[in-house]
Amino acid sequence: MKKTLMIAATAAFMMTGLAATEATAGGLTSKCKACHSFNKNKMGPSFKNIQAAYGDAATLAKVWESGFAPADRHIAGDENNANYKKYHKKAKIMTAQYKRLIKKNVEKGKFTYLELANEVFSK
């Protein structure tokens, strides 16, 4: 009986810790890594390319805050960007991810757009 209670308590503790980690901007950037990496383009542009395109976290945060329209994105919305064609085609995928992962969590008060942008720029 004690062993069962100990296992249940350990599982509950681990789940609580995981939930707390995922509620932070740092936890969200771990989900972002499914499509983005630091210096290599994957399904989405690398954090390095995002940093180069936006210049600073405040600029990236403003684009997210304004609704993340493809025309406002410095990669998918800029025809002069070398990666425009590739990422403009994928803009619908990122728009859905933005709404589900970023906007929804900001509205819940889990982090701000600027906190998440700072995480992207800290990578």
| pLDDT confidence of residue 19 | 42
Does a structural domain hold residue 63?
yes
How far is residue 70's CA from residue 90's CA, in Å, rounded to a whole number?
Answer: 10
For residue 15, give Cα distances in angstroms to 20, 80, 108: 9, 46, 20
| pLDDT confidence of residue 25 | 82
pLDDT in tens, the chain (123 residues): 555 444 544 544 444 444 444 446 888 888 899 999 999 999 999 999 999 999 999 999 999 999 999 999 999 999 998 889 999 999 999 999 999 999 999 999 999 999 999 999 998
For residues 68 and 95, the answer to whether their CB atoms sit within 8 Å is yes
The SS3 call for residue 4 is: helix
Does a structural domain hold residue 99?
yes
Does a structural domain hold residue 11?
no
Number of structural domains found in the chain: 1
Does a structural domain hold residue 102?
yes
Q: Which domain holds residue 39?
A: 25-122
Does a structural domain hold residue 10?
no
| pLDDT confidence of residue 103 | 96
| pLDDT confidence of residue 58 | 98
